């Protein structure tokens, strides 16, 4: 993995970023020089996005035209022409960055104006304001006096803001949001907590956020997403040694394409057989919820697992065979309500015969003995849906601490609350909550959401930085459980890190949803359709990777 990929993975808190910058400044980098470099990069990006007659495509756009890395499109085809740019200036160095951006855009012949409502500024920021005014750039203190602009650049507050915004500044931010003018925020939209993504009273609703140096944790929290817009990293060449010195291990990381692809069980050895490629047992479904079993099985099929066995109530065995003819469908005795009453595995087979087990989708809470049985096994185990609900009633942490094998839990926020009622609210700080849950239970915990977060018991965190609301459909989670379980079964036989395979499954699942939404709109991605895109997205991604 190259330096750019390493940097793009890293996620930091406000304090970690302060410590990294302190090392850079202590090594001799002048604050003013760094400000000039960062602001120059921002100004250049603004010109690329909005101002160039011919716009060079960024990485995301370039993937659509992989054969022509410098393919150009006219700016007018994507963005309107800008007549006036407003620069929002705060009292700290974030405001200084914004003022250098203003100066650079002014030197390019653009009409720029400044709004700075603060009388006390940091010395360097004050100097930049004085120089901007000497160039004839108009500066306003009242938001009502700021002329109508085609674009705003938000440099009010950078990382580290913790106080609630009130009074005139809060009113001004609300006024700007109401204008529906595109806003580019420098580092963090003003008003967001850098670590939690909490809105501190009010916050800028950015169209773009240019995160500086390293990704800030708050930008990857669900509650921040409607304020962040499209987030991009502005890499200003932080020395990797400084990052390592401050962060150490464990770390919070974004799941990126390079890490996901490197974890896939590919290529396969030339001489192998189905049991060497993992044997997965799914225990799922009921007479009432046969669809959950089907979708979980289809997700597992897409993982490429060598052998797939699916234990279901006898009454739905035939429908399972019709959808998954290659799987071994095990019909089990069932309760009066149509749930699995007991596992009835093939002759000479027991739970130790499998590389991994997944249990829960469509199971119903009448299958308590089944969940108890798999929890007593020595297999890596994925629990989802009713498997989680039954575990919660048994007592999550005290039950899991008795296991001698890895457990993966896949709750949404409601299930998380039932599993860990004493832990921090996952809706307020997902990262803090999922880390505490993994430490307390000894399990790998995947907390579903717009930015799925995964924690292992050692404290490492993975965050999936991209997804789509198209996945907010019943059955999407069942597909993820099957896909993840199939990858874990292969990881066991190949002795690959299971925690990373969980992260890869989350990334793969989201990317399939994104591709499906692009082709079918967000309304057209039902769970069954999603399963059809799982292989497509990986083959497409591998093709792009080979060409790059």
- Write out the binding residues: 93-97, 154, 158-164, 187, 190, 362, 412, 448-452, 477-478
Are 219 and 190 in contact, with CB atoms under 8 Å apart? no
Residue 177's CB is within 10 A of a number of other CB atoms, namely 17
Are 548 and 66 in contact, with CB atoms under 8 Å apart? yes
- 36 to 33, 40, 42, 106, 266: CA distances (angstroms): 5, 6, 10, 15, 45
Q: How far apart are CA 355 and CA 485, in angstroms?
A: 10
In the chain the first and final C-alpha atoms are separated, in Å, by 14
Q: How far apart are CA 420 and CA 416, in angstroms?
A: 6
Q: How far apart are CA 537 and CA 526, in angstroms?
A: 16
Residue 464 — φ and ψ, nearest 5°? Answer: -85, 115
Q: How far apart are CA 62 and CA 324, in angstroms?
A: 38
Nearest 5°: the CA angle 428, 432, 435 is 140
Are 384 and 360 in contact, with CB atoms under 8 Å apart? yes
- Binding positions for (6S)-NADPHX are 93-97, 158-164, 187, 362, 412, 478
Q: How far apart are CA 112 and CA 119, in angstroms?
A: 21
Q: Would you list the DSSP string of 495-520?
A: T--HHHHHHHHHHHHHHHHHHHHHHH
Are 315 and 335 in contact, with CB atoms under 8 Å apart? no
How do beta strands 307-313 and 328-332 pair?
parallel
Residue 360: left (phi > 0), alpha (psi -120 to 50), or beta? left
- Binding positions for AMP are 448-452, 477
Q: How far apart are CA 122 and CA 132, in angstroms?
A: 15
Number of H helices, E strands in the chain: 20, 21
How do beta strands 453-455 and 444-447 pair?
antiparallel
- 49 to 68, 79, 506: CA distances (angstroms): 19, 8, 30
- Binding positions for K(+) are 94, 154, 190
Q: Would you list the DSSP string of 72-108?
A: EEEGGGTS---S-EEEEE-SSHHHHHHHHHHHHHHHT
- 426 to 191, 386, 421, 447, 467: CA distances (angstroms): 21, 20, 10, 8, 18
């Amino acid at each position: 993995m190259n330096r750019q990929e390493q940097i793009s993975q890293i996620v930091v808190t406000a304090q970690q970023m302060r410590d990294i910058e302190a090392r850079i400044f202590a090594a001799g980098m002048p604050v003013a020089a760094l400000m000039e470099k960062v602001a120059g990069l921002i100004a250049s990006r603004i010109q690329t996005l909005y101002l160039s007659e011919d716009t060079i495509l960024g990485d995301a756009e370039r993937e659509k035209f992989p054969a022509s890395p410098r393919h150009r499109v006219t700016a007018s085809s994507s963005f309107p022409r800008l007549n006036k740019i407003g620069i929002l200036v705060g009292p700290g160095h974030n405001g200084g960055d914004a003022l250098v951006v203003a100066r650079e855009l002014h030197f390019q012949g653009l009409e720029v104006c400044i709004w700075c409502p603060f009388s006390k500024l940091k010395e360097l920021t004050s100097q930049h304001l004085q120089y901007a005014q000497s160039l004839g750039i108009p500066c306003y203190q009242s938001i009502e006096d700021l002329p109508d602009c085609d674009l705003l650049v938000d440099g009010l507050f950078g990382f580290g803001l913790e106080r609630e915004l009130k009074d005139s500044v809060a009113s001004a931010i609300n006024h700007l949001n109401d204008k529906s003018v595109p806003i580019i925020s420098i580092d963090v939209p003003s008003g967001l907590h850098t670590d939690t993504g909490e809105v501190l009273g009010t916050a800028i609703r950015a169209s773009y956020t240019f995160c500086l140096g390293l990704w800030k944790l708050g930008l990857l929290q669900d509650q921040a997403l409607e304020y962040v817009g499209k987030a991009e990293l502005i890499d200003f060449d932080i020395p990797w040694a400084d990052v390592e010195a401050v962060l150490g291990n464990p770390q919070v990381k974004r799941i990126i394409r390079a890490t996901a692809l490197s974890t896939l069980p590919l290529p396969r050895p030339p001489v192998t057989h189905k049991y060497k490629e993992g044997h997965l047992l799914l225990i799922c479904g009921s007479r009432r919820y046969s669809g959950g079993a089907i979708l979980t099985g289809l997700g597992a099929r897409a993982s490429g697992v060598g052998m797939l066995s699916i234990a279901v109530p006898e009454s739905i065995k035939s429908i399972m065979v019709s959808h998954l003819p290659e799987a071994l469908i095990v019909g089990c005795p069932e309760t009066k309500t149509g749930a699995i009453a007991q596992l009835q595995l093939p002759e000479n087979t027991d739970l130790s015969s499998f590389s991994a087990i997944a249990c829960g989708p469509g199971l119903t809470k009448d299958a308590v003995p089944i969940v108890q049985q798999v929890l007593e096994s020595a297999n890596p185990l994925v629990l989802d849906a009713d498997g989680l609900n039954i575990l919660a009633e048994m007592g999550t942490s005290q039950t899991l601490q008795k296991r001698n094998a890895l457990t993966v839990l896949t709750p949404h926020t409601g299930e998380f609350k039932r599993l860990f009622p004493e832990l921090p609210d996952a809706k307020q700080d997902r990262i803090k909550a999922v880390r505490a849950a993994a430490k307390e239970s000894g399990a790998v915990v995947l907390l579903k959401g717009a930015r799925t977060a995964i924690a292992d018991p050692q404290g490492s965190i993975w965050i999936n930085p991209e997804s789509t609301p198209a996945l907010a459909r019943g059955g999407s989670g069942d597909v993820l459980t099957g896909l993840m379980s199939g990858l874990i079964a292969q990881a066991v036989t190949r002795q690959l890190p299971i925690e990373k395979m969980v992260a890869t499954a989350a990334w793969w699942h989201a990317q399939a949803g994104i591709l499906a939404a692009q082709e079918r709109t967000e309304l057209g991605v039902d769970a069954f359709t999603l399963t059809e895109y799982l292989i497509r997205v990986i083959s497409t991604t591998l093709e792009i990777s080979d060409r790059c």
